[in-house]
Every structure is written in structure tokens, then in C-alpha cells.
Structure 1
Amino acid sequence: MEAAGHLIVMPIVLPLAAGAFLLLLDERRHVIKAVISIMSTLALMVVAIALLGSADNATASSGAATNSVYLLGNWPAPFGIVLVLDRLSALMLVLTSVLALASLAFSLARWHKAGPHFHTLFQLLLMGLNGAFLTGDLFNLFVFFEVLLAASYGLVLHGSGPLRVKAGLHYIAVNLAASSLFLIGVSLIYGVTGTLNMADLAQRIPAVPAQDRMLLEAGAAVLGIAFLVKAGMWPLGFWLPGAYSAAAAPVAAIFVILTKVGFYVLLRLSLLLFGVDAGATAGFGDAWLLFGGMATIAFGAIGVLASQAVSRLAGFSILVSSGTLLAAIGMADARVTAGALFYMVSSTLTIGAFFLLIELVERVQDPAANVLSVTMEAYSDDTQEDVADEEVGVAIPGTLAVLGICFAACGLLLAGLPPLSGFVGKFALLTAMVRPEPVADGVVVAGSTWVLVALLILSGLCALIATMRAGMQIFWAPIEGTVPRVLLLEIAPVAFLLTLCLVIAVQGGQIMRYMEATAQALHSPSGYVRDVLSAQPTPGPNAPSDK
């Protein structure tokens, strides 16, 4: 606590203050609003990196998992609201701030002027995300969940247009239903246990009487469905590709982290409340997550292959990523969890960059030209050879070359091929699955694990085929295309995210060490429970001192 201090609350207060101040400014003052929003997001990233270092150093110095607990009302848990900083929450804060900075910078080219209160909604979205990652209480998780959803409703409709409005209304309806399920699940859990503090729940759940266990599991299942809708598990994620592909490019990019909220909460609660120490309810829901995750990977891979629009390809890629992470939770293995966390960081940055890049590459050809190129490919038009002969030796414009390199990098990352971080994440996952520890004679890898391994490999192959097909239609199609006008402010965020993926691959050993320590702490949650419940309020100025 001494290391982080009041810095823990800053990821919530900073975007809240910035969003409230931006609301007071005239909507026509675009430059001032953009400067304030960028400065707030930059400060948020600095704070998140500082908190990540604090969480890492606290554990390294003590030799055991140490969590920083912030008592908002200066009331001890479980009576007051608490924020908890551990390795996982710090990781999510950094990932959110990095993706937010890239998305916000991209929006300054034109998108932030396409509708009212863009920057206010963006900052409130960051506030809700950061609060969801830091809170140690289910009811406050619901509050922050509603804040981020309310902001996302405005952002998904940003820029208007009939397609965006239609997809946005579907998005709103589905998420309102998920919010209702969230509240029902929380109510059932509170009715059985009498508390909503996560650490206190971890202590009380093993002692729940047998006659109340079914009600507890029903509440947990309803709560889980709410987050599975957000994570996009099949068949609950039918809305996701359409909504994300219709959203504005910077909005779709920051929305990639929204699916990780579902993953984060499911990972946190499954190991904290239904881990090995949960008694009769230990392992509740693991099998559903494993098989549901595999079904989501299969559905997403088929959607990737079937997508003609590149934006829908990116939307289905999110489902493949979500399915992989959900299946990893279901395996309930610390080494698999560590690989899943590495994969989560890589896939989030990759798909965020892909959504930003899609708007730029779609300027190369009109949609009609794309349809025509597919038709010519299908019917083997003879004019292709003539056009190809005429264009021998024609130089590729610099803009197209840069876009092509970025597109190829996204394809390698989505497919999980070397040398970028997508390969490292998938390799860590597959290694943990097929080489369980401790290694001993008679240890047999389960059949479901081999199915998951096959799905991961096949989904990468599908992504490779789909991105190669899309790349050829965009960059190599023999139809006259135009060289798009791309601003440095637009390509720089894409290059920034892809460079981070390269850095993650180069520093894979150090990052995997962090992920393994995070996974070990999650699978042994006694330290989390101890630190939260033992946190003491700060004495007031008139409190008696010990002499």
C-alpha cells in the first residue's frame, strides 16, 4: 500500500474528472477538447505503468503475492468499498490505457468531430473499465459495468448512418439484457451469502449449507451468463461481429478491450470463489467454459473464412480470441492461464490495430471493386492475364507499401506465426496443454485437450487463409485502385500497436515470468483474501496513538 498509495484510485478519478470537465466545454472547441482528452489518457498510461511496477515489485520483494488495498470510505472490508491492485488488475490497466491512447490518437484525424461528446464518452468508458478491473466488490463491479456500457452505447452510435444505428440498437438491447442478468445473479448470491465483497465471498462459500448450494450456483450461473454475453461465447456472441464491424474504427478498436472485461471477471471469480478451496462448489462451471470456448473458436474460425468484408473478419477474430481465453479458464491450470494471459495481451493489441488499419486499407478500393474482384476470381475472367502483363514493372506507391506491410503483420499475428507475439502466445498455450506438470509416468493428456489443440491450430490456418485472400483482393487485385490519402496521425497508432507486439515477442521471457507469477497468485487466492480482509482504515487526526 505504501508503494502505490493514493495512486490506486487515479485510474478512476482521472478519466472521470476529464470527462466531466469536457462536458462543460462548447462542442465546437474541438482542439481544446482533443488536447485535454489526449493529456488525460497519457497521464492514465503513466499511472497504469507505475501501478504495474508497484504490483510487480511488491511481490518480488516479499517473495509472496502481495496486493495493495485501498479503502475508499476508510471502512474495513467487507463493510466498505475497496479497490484491489494485484498483478492481473495492473496488467489490465496498462493494456486498456495503451489501446485507448492509440484509438484516441487515430480518432483525432476526423472521427472525434463526427458526433457530439465523443471525448466525454471516451473518458467515461475508460473510467468504467478501470473501475471494473480494480474493484473488489460485486455490487461496485455492477456499477462500473453500467458506466462503461452507458458510455459504449453512445460510442457505438457515433457517426450515425443506418447500418451503424441498426447494429448499435442490437448492441444496446443485448447488453441491457445482460445487465439485468447481472443484477439477478448478484441478488441471488447476496441472498445466500449475505455479502458481495469478493474476498469475503471466498471465505463464506465453502461454508454454504448443502440446501442453499443450488441457489448459490444458480446465482453464479446467471452472473456468468451476463459476462459470457460480453465475452462473446457461442451462441451468446451472435451480436458481436455485426456491432463491431459497423462501429467507427477508433470505437471498434477500444471495444476490443470490452470483451476482455468478461474474460477478466470470469477468470477472477472462477478461481477466487470456485477454486480448489471452495469445497463442494470447487470447479463449478469449468466444463461449460472449456466446451463453450471450443465451440466459440470453431464458430469464429468458420466466420473468419466466410467473411467477405475485412471488418467482419476482424469481428470474428475477436470470437476466436475470446473462445481461446474461455477454454483456457475452463482447463483450470496455472501454466495454461499464464499462456492465456500472454495470448490475451497480444490478441488485444493485434485486433485493435487491425480495426484501425481496416479503415485505411478500405480506401484503396470501393466496395463495388471488391465485389467485382471476387466475381472475376470466381469466374476466372481472361482479362486478368492481360492486365497483369500491362502492369509488369509498375512501382508500388509508398502508402500502399506501408499499408501492405502492416496488413501482413496483422495476418501473421492473427494466424500465430513467427516472429511476432501471436506465435509466442499460442506456443505457450499449446506447450502448457500437451506437457502437463509435474511430468510423471501415466499422465495422459485428455481427449478434450487434443481437440482444443487442433482447434487452435486450425483457427490460425483459417486466419491465415482469410487474411491472405483479403490482402490479395485489396492490394493485388487487377482492378484499377486508388492510392489512399493516409495521415501520419492515422498510421502512427497502427504502427505503435504492431511495434508493441514485436517488443512483446522480443521480451517474451520477461513478460512470461510476469504472467506465470500472475497465474500462480490467481490459482492460490489465499493471499488476495488475506490482504483485503486484513486491511486497516487510516487513523484520523484525533485518533488515540499507542504509547
Structure 2
Amino acid sequence: MMSWSHHLIITPILLPMATAALLLLIDERNRTTKALISLVSILLLAMNAVVLFRIESGPNDFENVYLLGNWAAPFGIVLVIDGLSALMLLLASLLAVASHVFALARWHAVGAHYHSLFQLLLVGVNGAFLTGDLFNLFVFFEVMLAASYGLLLHGTGTLRVKAGMHYIAVNLVAALFFLIGVSLIYGTAGTLNMADLALRMPQMEPDRLMLMEAGAGVLGVAFLIKVGMWPLCFWLPGAYSAASAPVAGMFAILSKVGIYVILRLTMLLFGSGPSAGFGADVLLFGGIATLVFGTIGVLASQALGRLAGYSVLVSSGTLLMVLGINDGIVSSGALLYLVSSTLTIGAFFMLIELVERGQDAGANVLAVTMEAYGDGEEHDMAEGEGVTMPGTMAILGVCFAACGILLSGLPPLSGFIAKFAMLSAMMGTGSIGTTPGAAVWTLIVLVIFSGIAALIAMTRAGIRTFWGSLEGTVPRVLVVEVVPVMFLLSLTLLLTIEAGPVMRYMDATIRTLANPAAYIDAVRNAVVIEGWGPGTGAKAGGSL
């Protein structure tokens, strides 16, 4: 019989699903009750993710494969937990805690069924990280998208509705590409189980393999749309900047779902064999174009929301480039960069709502005009004249400076460590020991330049917001709003302090991904429980 701890694998899906159903039965007027139930569920989800992460980060004989319905693979549905999925579950749950607490101040009460939609979003995100077959990946992808539609439209305003309509249309197209790609793969290979696909692909005839790769290419388009690869990214900055602050903060993880799936399938299906390196050039050059486009957008943005939206594209472009390089040492640093940038962008979206509170909508445009043409009222500052920095603005300013340091990759925080790990590996130092070519040097220059651009943009925005504000008013900020921002930024500080153990975990995770045989054996050797359900066997699950 399986141990109770084995059920922790399915808990990240069942817990938010049950919570969402329960919250639908409670009247919308009982917002406090709904908020409390949702908060308890998310905290339990975070605790579960921490336990799974600790299990995966140390030596153990934990059974990593969960057979739903007690059906063996490849016929049954399987959930698989390994170092990568445990890391992503932990990241999503920590971001969910911060986003939900931030929403408790006021955002959860400006529309109906906010908490149920939030819980369903977690069902889709966690399911995508855990599933071991492509069909259920499509199911969880659709659950995630359906919930994100409602969350993006949560609240009021013409801009939000317009951006929401664009978001829905683009992602419906992505879902269509997903379904077409899955259908092609199933029609060619006869299976959608990822481990079984990895076994069958080397045995395919050339013509069937071409159809299989075509299906994978169509499937990849769906995730590249979600990642925001250029030229599929024009919807993202507008949609993310129009969302409410807690929703935009949670949306920081959605683009990483696409990165996760691309990384998983690349290492599992296209890491070796006749299709080795499939799509690498598309990821490499697409990542370069995305990084350039995002960097230009960061420099051109005057509104902080747009700046954060383009920062998502900079993060996606950097990660896509690394996936295109397909080097294990570089990928280890990229995993740290993924975690650090997600936490930073999530905190930044929530911080923007606080620092812009009380500002006039046209203040930033007017400030830029005055910078260019002057206000005609320049005078020398008299003794004792100046602007005081109240406590609230001081706290917000420190958080803003931390976001700027992290986004630009300046020392000493985790953004610098992640970029240093990637760049040093690209340059041939450390354990690679190879001389980089012209293409790699181009990537190095682009990563450095994107950091400089982020520094310029954040410095300009910080001066305009904190030192040159036209209103001169101090926003009213609740403790429940500033604590989530500080919590996410403190996690980046923890990543900095524990950089050694964190990088060892990332290295071990990439080594496991680079050895797909362990994943395949764990899924294929997982057998059903004897005397229970439809199957018979000796034990449940398998170990990676």
C-alpha cells in the first residue's frame, strides 16, 4: 500500500479544486468568510509545496509517480514530481500567498467569484507542472486560461475590458494550436504519455517522425504565445498592465508555465536521438528577437505598468535564448534567473499599484514633457527648503530600488548571481572550458545591455515617482498591501544568501532533466496497487 505522503503529489490539484467548489456555495456577501477559507487553502498549498520541495532536494526513496485511477502508464493518467516540478510548485504557491494577501485589502471585493477563479487558476498551473501526459496538459492549460480570463476582467474600466478581449482572443488561438498539435502527435505516435513518447520516437519511420515533429512544432507555437516570444508577444504588455495588481502579480508565473513545458519536452523528447536539437534555432533566434523587443519596450515605457509588462518579455527572451543554447551549465543559472525574475516581477506589479496610488493619470506624461521642455520656473533652493521623505514613501522607495537592482542584475541580489552564472558559463569559464563563438558573444552583449536598459528605465521612473512627483502626496498604504511585496523581495534576498545550496539544487535538477531515462523508467515501472481499483500489482508509484 502507498504511504500517506504519496498523496502529497495530487494535493496541489485537489486542494484548490475543492476550495473553488466550496467557495461557489458561499454567498458573495460573505466576503470575509470566503477570503479566510481561500487564504487557509493557499497556506496549506504552500506548506505542501515546501514539503515536496524538501523531499526532492534531499536523498530519499519517495515514490515520484502517482497513478490516477490505479491505471498503469501509458493507458492511465500519471502525475510526476521531480526537482523541476517541485521547484515550480513552490514558486507558484509562494507567489499565490503574496498575491492573495495583497488582494485582501480591497481587490477581492470589486467583483464576483474572485477567490474561486484564483483557486481554479492554481489548479491549472499546478496541474501543468505535475502532469505526465500531453492530453491532461491541455486540460490543465485550458483550466488555467479560463480562470485567467475572469481574473483579468476582474474590476472595472474600459482599458481592462479592451485588453481582456485581446487576451482572450489570442489565448483562444493558442488553445486551438495546442489541440491541433496534440491531435497530430497522437495520430502519429498513438500515445500522449510523455515517457511513452520518448520511447517510441527513436523507433519511428522517417515520414512518421516528420509528422511527429510537425505536431510538436504546432504544439510549441501555443506555448510560445504564452511565453510571449516575438512576434507573438504584442498582447502581453497591454494585458498585464491592465490587470489588477494582485492578478498581474500572479500572472508573472503564467509565462513560466510555457517555459517549463518547453524545457520539459525539449529535454525529454528532443535531447537525443534522431530529433535531437529540434526547434533549438527557433528558440535561440526567437529569444534574441524577444529580448531586443522587450529591451526597447523597457526603454520606451513611461507608465510603470508597461515597464513591468516589457520586463516579462525580457525575462522570457533571456530564458528562450538559454533553451536554444541547450547547455546544462547555462541552464542551471537560467533556472535561478527564472525564480528570481518571477518573484521580482510579481512584487513589482503589486508595488506599482501602491506608488501610483493618488497620482493623476496624466502626471507621468506631463513630467516627461517638463523634462524635455522645462517648466519655466527654475529657481535656486533656499536654505531649509526641500521635500521630506515620509515613512511610507521611504519603504516604497526601498522596495522600488530593490526591484530595480534585481531587474537590472546589479550586485548583490539574486538577479546578479543568476546572470553571472549564465554569463560565466557562456564565456567558457568554470566547468565548460570552451571558447564562445560569435553567436554566444552576441547573447552575452544582449543580456548585459538589457540589464543596463532596465537600470536606466527604473532610475528614470524612480526619480520621477519619488523625487519629482508633481502631486507631492503620500499614498495611503495598508500593512496588508506592503507586506506581500516585502515578502517576495525577501525571498530574493534569501536566494542571495543561500546561493550555494540553491545553485547545487539547480545543477542537480538540470542533470536529472538531461537524463530522461530516469524519468521514463519511473513512469514505466510504476505499477498499480494490488487488490484495489481496476489493476493489480505490487506497489504504487515509481522513483526518479
> Shorter chain as normaliser: what TM range?
over 0.9
370-379 or 459-468: which moved more? 370-379
When residues 544 and 144 of structure 1 are mapped into structure 2, their CA distance, relative to the original with a 3 A threshold, is: closer
In 1, Cα distance between equivalents of 2:245 and 2:159? 14
User: Does structure 1 conserve the Cα–Cα contact (< 8 Å) formed by 2:357 and 2:475?
Assistant: yes
364-373 or 390-399: which moved more? 390-399
Match of 1:53 in 2: 54
**AA in 2 matched with 1:257:** I
**AA in 2 matched with 1:464:** L
Residues 11-26 of structure 1: matches in 2 within 5 Å? 11-26=12-27
Query: Residue 73 of structure 2: which of 69, 72, 77 is its match?
Result: 77
- SS in structure 2 of the partner of residue 459 of structure 1: helix
Match of 1:512 in 2: 503
Match of 2:541 in 1: none
Say if 2:139 is the partner of 1:148.
Answer: no
CA deviation string 1:36-65 (max 9, x = no partner): 0000000000000101111222xx347xxx
Query: Residue 325 of structure 2: which of 319, 331, 339 is its match?
Result: 331
- Following superposition, the deviation at residue 480 of structure 1 comes to 3.6
Match of 2:252 in 1: 256
User: Does structure 2 conserve the Cα–Cα contact (< 8 Å) formed by 1:67 and 1:86?
Assistant: no
User: Does structure 1 conserve the Cα–Cα contact (< 8 Å) formed by 2:70 and 2:532?
Assistant: no
Query: Residue 233 of structure 2: which of 230, 234, 237 is its match?
Result: 237
Say if 2:295 is the partner of 1:301.
Answer: yes
Q: What CA RMSD, in Å, does the superposition of the two structures yield over aligned residues?
A: 1.7
Match of 1:407 in 2: 400
When residues 171 and 478 of structure 1 are mapped into structure 2, their CA distance, relative to the original with a 3 A threshold, is: closer
Query: Residue 349 of structure 2: which of 343, 355, 361 is its match?
Result: 355
**Could you list the runs of 5+ residues in structure 1 that have no partner in the other structure?**
none
- SS in structure 2 of the partner of residue 281 of structure 1: coil
357-366 or 243-252: which moved more? 357-366
In 1, Cα distance between equivalents of 2:384 and 2:344? 33
In 2, Cα distance between equivalents of 1:463 and 1:2? 49
Say if 2:448 is the partner of 1:457.
Answer: yes
* Percent of aligned pairs sharing the same letter: 61
User: Does structure 1 conserve the Cα–Cα contact (< 8 Å) formed by 2:340 and 2:492?
Assistant: yes
Match of 1:522 in 2: 513
- SS in structure 1 of the partner of residue 17 of structure 2: helix
Say if 2:417 is the partner of 1:417.
Answer: no
CA deviation string 1:135-179 (max 9, x = no partner): 000000000000010000100000021000000000000000000
Say if 2:183 is the partner of 1:187.
Answer: yes
- Following superposition, the deviation at residue 380 of structure 1 comes to 2.5
Query: Residue 278 of structure 2: which of 281, 284, 291 is its match?
Result: 284
In 2, Cα distance between equivalents of 1:160 and 1:393? 38
Residues 306-325 of structure 1: matches in 2 within 5 Å? 306-325=300-319
CA deviation string 1:206-261 (max 9, x = no partner): 11101222211110110000000000001101100000000000000000100000
- Following superposition, the deviation at residue 363 of structure 1 comes to 1.7
Say if 2:472 is the partner of 1:472.
Answer: no
Say if 2:390 is the partner of 1:397.
Answer: yes
**AA in 1 matched with 2:222:** A
In 1, Cα distance between equivalents of 2:410 and 2:213? 40
User: Does structure 2 conserve the Cα–Cα contact (< 8 Å) formed by 1:231 and 1:259?
Assistant: yes
Work out the number of aligned pairs and report it.
536
CA deviation string 1:312-364 (max 9, x = no partner): 00000000000111111111111111111000000000000000000000025
User: Does structure 2 conserve the Cα–Cα contact (< 8 Å) formed by 1:67 and 1:528?
Assistant: no
Match of 1:495 in 2: 486
In 2, Cα distance between equivalents of 1:98 and 1:545? 37
CA deviation string 1:356-395 (max 9, x = no partner): 0000000253122222221111013342445x54873542
**AA in 2 matched with 1:52:** F
User: Does structure 2 conserve the Cα–Cα contact (< 8 Å) formed by 1:55 and 1:67?
Assistant: no
User: Does structure 1 conserve the Cα–Cα contact (< 8 Å) formed by 2:177 and 2:218?
Assistant: yes
User: Does structure 1 conserve the Cα–Cα contact (< 8 Å) formed by 2:295 and 2:450?
Assistant: yes
In 1, Cα distance between equivalents of 2:427 and 2:399? 33
In 2, Cα distance between equivalents of 1:410 and 1:522? 31
User: Does structure 1 conserve the Cα–Cα contact (< 8 Å) formed by 2:329 and 2:432?
Assistant: no
Query: Residue 365 of structure 2: which of 371, 376, 388 is its match?
Result: 371
- SS in structure 2 of the partner of residue 395 of structure 1: coil
User: Does structure 2 conserve the Cα–Cα contact (< 8 Å) formed by 1:19 and 1:121?
Assistant: yes
Normalising by structure 2, what TM-score?
0.96
CA deviation string 1:81-118 (max 9, x = no partner): 00000000000000000000000000000000010000
**AA in 2 matched with 1:34:** A
When residues 391 and 459 of structure 1 are mapped into structure 2, their CA distance, relative to the original with a 3 A threshold, is: farther
**AA in 1 matched with 2:39:** I
In 1, Cα distance between equivalents of 2:154 and 2:382? 45
- SS in structure 2 of the partner of residue 73 of structure 1: helix
In 1, Cα distance between equivalents of 2:382 and 2:362? 24
Say if 2:126 is the partner of 1:130.
Answer: yes
User: Does structure 1 conserve the Cα–Cα contact (< 8 Å) formed by 2:124 and 2:141?
Assistant: yes
User: Does structure 1 conserve the Cα–Cα contact (< 8 Å) formed by 2:182 and 2:215?
Assistant: yes
**AA in 2 matched with 1:190:** Y
**Could you list the runs of 5+ residues in structure 2 that have no partner in the other structure?**
539-544
User: Does structure 2 conserve the Cα–Cα contact (< 8 Å) formed by 1:127 and 1:148?
Assistant: yes
- SS in structure 2 of the partner of residue 367 of structure 1: coil
**AA in 2 matched with 1:314:** A
Match of 2:542 in 1: none
User: Does structure 2 conserve the Cα–Cα contact (< 8 Å) formed by 1:364 and 1:481?
Assistant: no
When residues 390 and 367 of structure 1 are mapped into structure 2, their CA distance, relative to the original with a 3 A threshold, is: farther
When residues 458 and 364 of structure 1 are mapped into structure 2, their CA distance, relative to the original with a 3 A threshold, is: farther
In 1, Cα distance between equivalents of 2:158 and 2:368? 26
- SS in structure 2 of the partner of residue 159 of structure 1: coil
